[in-house]
Structure 1
Amino acid sequence: MVIAVLSGKGGTGKTTLATNLASAISEDFDVQLLDADAEEPDVHLFFDPKIEHEEEIELMLPVIDKEKCTRCRKCAEACQFGALSVFDTGVMVFESLCHGCGLCTFVCPEKAISERPKVIGKVKTGRIDDKTAFGMGILEIGEPSPVRVIRKLKENIDRDKVVIIDSPPGTSCSVVETLRKVDFAILVTEPTPFGLHDLKLAVQIVREMGIPFGIVINRDTGSYTMIDEYAGEENLVLLERIPFDRSIAEAYSEGKLFTETSPSWKIRFKKLAEKIISLSGVS
């Protein structure tokens, strides 16, 4: 079973939930915890995993041979991302826009375009302990999109385990890539107007992708009720509430899991997992 933990915005607590859920259920299941937040991965800070394998992720960029190029513009016309522009002086490649699809190389009638590899990130895999496998994607600084890194990370998914993926924040292409072929999505939100706004965006994505989901309200004070009202109007499943509690915040700030410092929370997270399995329909 593959579970993605996401949020419409950053800072709502999705990593907190993903790490604590993985730790709690590892007593009963073989778990694989994947950090797909490749722009700022931080799951490893809570576990200090042993890395056993590392792989660089490359993007193939076009290289223009000025001697062969006739500036016919076919490469630029074919590129739907606008990564190529033709001027009187030659063809300019905008590396930050290139998706490495290779179409320009294919359509060039003069065979004036070759390719060179560029490292855009890496994937690391290993183990946290005997019950929990680990993987993380890391995007190189300055690179615009982690989609290829996330895609490569997900090739390591072991469906014989309970797989928990810490998704990137927001609702961009990287989140959509993370959600592909998952069995259930946990939407983590906070009880604020901003949290509600971005929760609605996340709900729209998982509904359009046909993914079963439920919501978790983090830092809940009980004073902001609009998320509960929205959940009622939309028939959303409220999986859990995590209170605005100083002991939880202190554990997090020290790199500790509150399911380890508070046994009652470990029990609650195990029940949360049971609820998710039931809602997903995956045996």
Structure 2
Amino acid sequence: MIISVASGKGGTGKTTVATNLAASVGGKVLLMDCDVEEPNAHLFLNPVFESTRTVTTPVPEIDEEKCTRCGKCAEICQFRALVVLGQTVLSFENLCHSCGGCEMVCPVKAIRWKERGLGTIRKGRRNGLEFVDGQLRIGEAMSPPLIREVRAQTAAEGLTIIDAPPGTSCPVIAAMKGADFVLLVTEPTPFGLHDLKLALGAVRMLGIPCGLVINRSDIGYGKVKEYAREESLPVLMEIPFDRGIAEAYSRGELLSENMPGWKEKFMELYRRIDSLVKREKSS
């Protein structure tokens, strides 16, 4: 089973939920941190990293001797990664989506390819828990290709938990696509409600069953629960606004290992998700 933990905005407690859920379930579990622009799940798990590899993507390079400056490569590129100015062909590598269209239309085969670094993927372990994260190269504009490389490490068996990027844009879709369940995490504030609506809309467009965790649930804004009832979005867990939880978070500690009762609460969260997924598949 693949569970993607997502949120419409940052700072809702998404990583807290993902890491504690992964550490609580036991058995064969893989946690993937797909928030590649700012991965921080490793700060809570402290895994022993066993390997690191660089991820690259092919980008076009113009063979000046063959190129006739016909401009066909620039015409087909919808992202303006290639521009012909007089007798000069400019290549903007950071805009390239590596689709290969420029090579297909070039009449003189003047397009060759080179590799551009996107970032790195790290693999590690912690007490039997497998861990993978991606780290986007500083200055890199496109995270979905790296997220897809992280997702390619999905375990064939057991449970995979994905810590998705915040928001509702392309990186989030790349992290949620193909999941069996999306666990949305929000907070009971006007901003939290606004972004929850956007996130739920994206999940339902993908047709993935989902549930909700409300973090800092007792701070007094009840419209999030009202919205969840209206949308038949099950609230699977509530985490209170608690000083002890905040202090544990600030020290990089897992609630499931350092505060009484929380491991069982996250186990119950997993059981409820498992039940919903089985019900969806049987219907």
Give TM class, smaller chain: over 0.9
Whichever residue aligns with residue 24 of structure 2, its letter is A
Match of 2:17 in 1: 17
Match of 1:224 in 2: 221
Q: Is the 8 A contact 1:105 1:111 kept in 2?
A: yes
Q: 2:29 and 2:174 mapped to 1: Cα distance?
A: 21
TM-score by length of 1: 0.96
Q: Would you say 1:38 and 2:36 are equivalent positions?
A: yes
For 1:24-173, list aligned pairs within 5 A.
24-26=24-26, 29-130=27-128, 132-173=129-170
Q: 2:73 and 2:178 mapped to 1: Cα distance?
A: 33
1:75 Cα offset (Å): 0.5
| Backbone CA RMSD of aligned residues | 1.3
Q: 2:218 and 2:191 mapped to 1: Cα distance?
A: 16
Q: 2:80 and 2:156 mapped to 1: Cα distance?
A: 38
Percent of paired sites with the same residue: 51
Whichever residue aligns with residue 2 of structure 2, its letter is V
Whichever residue aligns with residue 258 of structure 1, its letter is L
Q: 1:222 and 1:136 mapped to 2: Cα distance?
A: 33
1:65 Cα offset (Å): 2.1
Q: Is the 8 A contact 1:59 1:119 kept in 2?
A: yes
Moved more, 67-76 or 167-176: 67-76
Match of 2:238 in 1: 241
Moved more, 110-119 or 133-142: 110-119
1:117 Cα offset (Å): 0.7
For 1:261-276, list aligned pairs within 5 A.
261-276=258-273
1:149-177 CA-partner distances (Å, limit 9, x unpaired): 11111111113111111001111111111
Whichever residue aligns with residue 14 of structure 1, its letter is K
- Paired residues in the alignment total 280
Q: Is the 8 A contact 2:219 2:241 kept in 1?
A: no
Q: Is the 8 A contact 2:50 2:124 kept in 1?
A: yes
Whichever residue aligns with residue 41 of structure 2, its letter is V
Q: 1:100 and 1:50 mapped to 2: Cα distance?
A: 34
1:260 Cα offset (Å): 1.3
For 1:167-206, list aligned pairs within 5 A.
167-206=164-203
Q: 2:138 and 2:160 mapped to 1: Cα distance?
A: 27
Q: Is the 8 A contact 2:31 2:161 kept in 1?
A: yes
Whichever residue aligns with residue 164 of structure 1, its letter is I
1:261 Cα offset (Å): 1.6
1:89 Cα offset (Å): 3.3
SS for the counterpart of 1:33 is strand
Q: 1:107 and 1:263 mapped to 2: Cα distance?
A: 63
Q: Is the 8 A contact 1:221 1:243 kept in 2?
A: yes
Moved more, 78-87 or 266-275: 78-87
Q: 1:87 and 1:222 mapped to 2: Cα distance?
A: 58
Whichever residue aligns with residue 48 of structure 1, its letter is N
1:44-73 CA-partner distances (Å, limit 9, x unpaired): 111221112222111111111223222211
Whichever residue aligns with residue 11 of structure 1, its letter is G
Whichever residue aligns with residue 97 of structure 2, its letter is H
